[in-house]
Amino acid sequence: MEDIKEIIAESIVLSLDNKISKNDVLDKIEIPKDKEHGDFSYPCFNLAKILKNSPVNIANTIKEKIVLNDKISKVEVINGYLNFYLNNTNVTSTVLNEIISKNEKYGDTNIGNGENIIVEYSSPNIAKPFHLGHFRNTVLGASLYNMYKICGYNVTRINHLGDWGRQFGLLIEGYKRFKDEYDITKDSLNVLLDIYIRINKLAKEDESIFDIARENFKKLEEGNEEILKLWKIFRDVSIKEYKRIYDILGCGFDSYNGEAFYSDKMDEVIQILDKKGVLVDSQGAKVVNVGENMPPCIVVKSNGSTIYATRDLAAILYRARTYDFSKCIYITGSEQILHFKQIFEVAKYLVDEKYQKGLIHISYGMIRLKTGKMSTRDGTIVYINDLIEDAIKKAKDIIIAKDANLEDIDNIAKQIGVGALIFNYLKTTKVKDIIFDLDETLRFDGETGPYVQYTYVRAKSILNKVKFDTKTKIDYNLLNTKQEIELVKELGKFPNIVLKALEEYEPAILARYLIDVATLFSRFYNECPVLVDDENLKNARCGLVYATSIVIKKGLSLLGIECPEKM
């Protein structure tokens, strides 16, 4: 219904004698949460200063002067809001014809106009198994990438690996000592984790091992051939395993440049900050003061070594030069909020203002188990490989219990199991903590991925029975029940929902919307039989079913979820 938004915006601008731009109006038009308040709403509060009048008076003036298009039945004023009610007959044919004609391209726009966007997400520490804590980060980033792509942006996906630091000096020492006891080609990340745990325990008993580890890392920084070769092995086996998991999740990356990539780029950062006079001594360390409300940002520690912040600053400088980004989005847990506030402040000394303003940190809440917080010490860390296998197995058991003769069960179980996990983490507002419960996640009723997938399968089943032809001439004026109208209007919101999800960096907006679509489709399905004798009505309702299947499939694909054709 983008064209209707355009019509509303143009009407408002004309009624105000062009005292405000069309784009300013378009940015403010919203969809009311309460359906009683219309299909679109425009708040007049921003006009109060411009027109020197109260929002209520402004809204009433616009209502009196506005010329309504035939797609809009009426406009009402409620507390400074202009509420627009659509002409159901015109909207039904407009929405359904648009969806069916555009098909999988429905919702695509070119608002990005080729702007360069960087999305940094996933970013696990190498030489460790991929655990549940990284999962939310990964699916959040992948879904935002998908949405940016269909909105016309040029998007670069960066996996900023944790592949540098003194811990690798310790791991290298452990590998040297214990490598003959392991086969690193099999279950490589668990092998490396076990080696690290063993050498760490031994070092606590013999502190000289920590000295050796520090020497190993020094050699690594200096490019020692033997040490560098071992580090590359750890990195290569880690990326290989991560890519296997990313393939299962249906996501990928354009760059795996992690912390190590910036190890030779930090000196320039230090020199720039020093030259600009903002790098000051503080108890032996070199820091940049970033304001009264934040502690200084440490750039060089008192022992002369650099830290995460130094490498992140080097990354900002490199990305500005390499990608000329309008936005560089970082997705991490909420515990890093202060870190990013600090480096974004320091970045103003390194890059132009447009790049500094384009730095965006998206934080998310913790994932907890039903038994409490995850903990390596308590052995309650959930590894994503095990979780995916469990989800697929449970999905397969559910499918077999419903229909043991279903073809391609293994692939369908994978689509449902993986889709259920992704949907579970995206349906919850990102700032909220999540309590993980696999059984709840895999339910086929309620607010779950399998429920939305099943709605798609049910729609496809109807269409297969009647062999619906999209080229059939259809009279959508026959769709006039409450259930039909509500579903049509909901489908028409899809392009706006995608834009809102991007505007708020919140895939949950899209996930919750798909639950609403599935719920409205269920009501329509129960109250409005599709396979009726009246051929014209049957075709009209099939058109609505087909449009619903398009929106659900497209919406789930943006979240990174596949739709099975049968369940």
Helix or strand (DSSP H, E) at 219: helix 208-222
Which stretch of 68-72, 173-177, 453-457 has the lowest confidence by average pLDDT?
68-72
SS (H, E, C) 141-168: HHHHHHHHHHCCCEEEEECCCECCCCHH
pLDDT at 378: 42
Task: Work out the percent of the chain whose per-residue pLDDT is above 70.
Answer: 98
d(CA 48, CA 30): 18
Q: Is the pLDDT of residue 354 over 80?
A: yes
Question: Three-state SS for 347?
Answer: helix
d(CA 57, CA 44): 9
Backbone angles phi, psi at 545, to 5 degrees: -65, -45
Q: Is the pLDDT of residue 372 over 60?
A: no
Q: Is the pLDDT of residue 9 over 60?
A: yes
Residue scoring higher pLDDT (21 or 404): 21
pLDDT at 294: 93
Among 453, 399, 397, CA closest to 421: 453
Helix or strand (DSSP H, E) at 120: strand 116-120
Q: Which residues are CB-neighbours of 416 under 8 A, at least 6 positions away?
A: 395, 398, 399, 442, 449, 450, 453, 564, 567
Average pLDDT value for the chain: 92
Q: Is the pLDDT of residue 247 over 80?
A: yes
Residue range 426-448: average pLDDT? Answer: 88
Q: Which residues are CB-neighbours of 370 under 8 A, at least 6 positions away?
A: 435, 436, 437
Architecture of domain 385-559: Orthogonal Bundle (1.10)
pLDDT at 2: 60
Which stretch of 79-93, 133-147, 232-246 has the lowest confidence by average pLDDT?
79-93
Residue range 249-257: average pLDDT? Answer: 96
Question: Could you tell me the maximum CA-CA distance found in the chain, to the nearest angstrom?
Answer: 86
CA torsion angle 497 499 503 507 (round to 10): 50
d(CA 99, CA 543): 10
pLDDT at 369: 67
Q: Are strands 367-369 and 434-436 parallel, antiparallel or unpaired?
A: parallel
CA 144 to chain centre: 4
pLDDT at 88: 81
CA angle 460/4/490 to nearest 5° reads 35
pLDDT at 126: 95
- Contact call for residues 523 and 387 (beta carbons, < 8 A): no
Question: Three-state SS for 170?
Answer: helix
Residue/partner pairs of 143-147 with CB below 8 Å, 24 or more apart = 143/426, 143/507, 143/510, 143/558, 143/559, 143/560, 144/119, 144/329, 144/331, 144/502, 144/505, 144/507, 145/119, 145/251, 146/557, 146/558, 146/559, 146/560, 147/498, 147/501, 147/502, 147/507, 147/510, 147/558
pLDDT at 374: 47
Residue range 13-33: average pLDDT? Answer: 86
How would residue 380 be classed by pLDDT, with cut points 50, 70 and 90?
low
How would residue 373 be classed by pLDDT, with cut points 50, 70 and 90?
low
In the chain, the amino acid numbered 119 is V
pLDDT at 198: 94
CA 300 to chain centre: 33
Q: What is the CA radius of gyration of the chain?
A: 28
Q: Could you state, in order of their start, the residue ranges of all structural domains in the chain?
A: 2-86, 167-249, 385-559
How would residue 492 be classed by pLDDT, with cut points 50, 70 and 90?
very high
Residue range 500-507: average pLDDT? Answer: 96
How would residue 251 be classed by pLDDT, with cut points 50, 70 and 90?
very high
Backbone angles phi, psi at 116, to 5 degrees: -90, 120
pLDDT at 532: 93
DSSP string covering 316-339, please? HHHHHHHH--SEEEEEEEGGGHHH
Which stretch of 112-126, 262-276, 396-410 has the lowest confidence by average pLDDT?
396-410
In the chain, the amino acid numbered 242 is Y
Neighbours of 432 (CB within 10 A): 11
β-sheet bridge partners, residue 154: 116
pLDDT at 178: 95
pLDDT at 370: 66
Residue range 481-504: average pLDDT? Answer: 95
Residue range 419-425: average pLDDT? Answer: 95
The verdict on pTM exceeding 0.85 is yes
pLDDT at 109: 94
d(CA 125, CA 242): 11
Superfamily of domain 2-86: Arginyl tRNA synthetase N-terminal domain (3.30.1360.70)
Residue scoring higher pLDDT (265 or 303): 265
Q: For 80-122, how does the pLDDT look when each residue is reduced to its tens digit (9 = 90+)?
A: 899 999 888 788 998 999 999 999 999 999 999 999 999 999 9
Among 2, 1, 14, CA closest to 67: 14
Beta strands per DSSP E along 230-317: 279-282, 285-288, 297-300
d(CA 287, CA 340): 15
pLDDT at 4: 80
Q: For 318-353, how does the pLDDT look when each residue is reduced to its tens digit (9 = 90+)?
A: 999 999 999 999 999 999 999 999 999 999 999 999
β-sheet bridge partners, residue 81: 43, 78
Q: Is the pLDDT of residue 367 over 70?
A: yes
What the block records as the tokens of 16 is: 């105000």
pLDDT at 377: 41
d(CA 493, CA 168): 50
